[in-house]
Amino acid sequence: MKTPAQLLETLVSFATVSRDSNLELIRFIEGYLDEHGVPHQRIENDDHTKANLLARIGPKVEGGVVLSGHTDVVPVDGQPWSTDPFTLVDKGDGRLYGRGSCDMKGFIACALAQLPHWVQQDLTRPIYLAFSYDEEVGCLGAPRLIERLMADHPRPAAVIVGEPTLMAPVVAQKGITNLRTTVTGRAAHSSQINQGVSAIHVAARLVARIEDIMAELREEGRVDEAFNVAHSSLHVGKIQGGTAINIMAQECHFDWEIRHLPHDSFDELLARFTTFAEALEAEFKSRAPEAGIRTERLTSTVPALADRDNAAALTLCHELMGQRRSEAVAYATEAGQFQSAGLPTVICGPGSIAQAHQPDEYIEIEQLEAGARFMERLGERQRHGQA
């Protein structure tokens, strides 16, 4: 039987950057499941270049626990890695280095390492493996995976999303939506400022409005101190426009995001922006009728995870790892999607989010061992059929 570290070495070797296919990794896991007689289902994307994988160990009954992990990783382009990112490296310092080692192939490796034992234990309640694609670019694969889980299997009792949390249960996360706003102006020579509309100047006012919305939320007391950033956040990450310093810009677009608290409404926050944008558009259309402002979603809204209806999942974590303080995080995961399907869900996995997406990403060996203990205890629990 393979150890978590041995399986992690193999998983890291698959360069499953979100822009590329994950099918080679999926085929490896399918072969591994076949070796141990575990039934599985592949749920592909529309063009059949990527796939989710759903497997059940144990009987087809209620009371199952879902172990959710994403197979894709973020790019390494431009990062100063000291080793090959897709070769797991043990430098003898208690860490295993490689892209995805902590986010989140370490969790997947822990589950796969324990799988042969689960098969031998003759579980009375099932354990599900739910491995997705394209989590890093908007949690795109999970909805199809969840739909298949709910349609083809008895209702699970709990979901553990194994993002790196140092094995502490996370009960709340912010939702996220990625957006692009495009401003169309009227080009003119910059010496004739009254003849044109600079798309860049208009965009600057819109960006300032995004900043002002966050200030309004704080002033209105729309905060949750469980989060290290206590309010919903709005952020502009990229902006592009113009052709020359002496030409009023014909076009400018910027990409931005809204990360909303569980008790905030994405639609309401976006409405604050669009109300301002509509008034601004009316102002400059009077001299440039062809000008305009258009905002589109780049991704569907990833729902927030609220600290509610999660007793079964939270109790499970406490049973397996001992009582630990629950936390809330500002980053987004697939947990809110599972909760939206009516499943008690928490986030809990080995490694630290501080290492995720970084050059020389690593997972502490002791964290991998803690994940392995979690999986071992989960098998015992499901063997005895604890509710």
- For the annotated catalytic residues, the residue numbers are 72, 135
Cα dihedral across residues 22, 27, 33, 36: positive or negative: negative
DSSP 228-262: SS-B-EEEEEEEEE-S-TTB--SEEEEEEEEEE-T
Sign of CA dihedral 110, 113, 119, 122: negative
Q: What's the one-letter identity of residue 122?
A: D
**Residue 301: both structure tokens together:** 């809204």
Q: How far apart (Å, rounded) are the C-alpha atoms in residues 90 and 77?
A: 22
* CB-based contacts of 256, cutoff 8 Å, min separation 6: 178, 179, 180, 181, 210, 234, 235, 236, 237
Give DSSP secondary structure letters for 121-147: HT-SS-EEEEEES--TTTS-SHHHHHH
How far apart are the C-alpha atoms of 257 and 302, rounded to whole Å?
11
Angle between helices 4-13 and 105-121 (to 10 degrees): 130
Omega before 214 within 30 of 0, i.e. cis:
no
Question: Packing angle between helix 105-121 and helix 23-35, nearest 10 degrees?
Answer: 20
- Type and span of the H or E element at 68: strand 65-70
**Rounded CA gap, 295 and 179, in Å?**
7
Q: Which residues pair with 364 in a beta bridge?
A: 95
**Element of type H or E holding 292:** strand 292-297
What is the C-alpha radius of gyration for the chain, rounded to an integer number of angstroms?
24
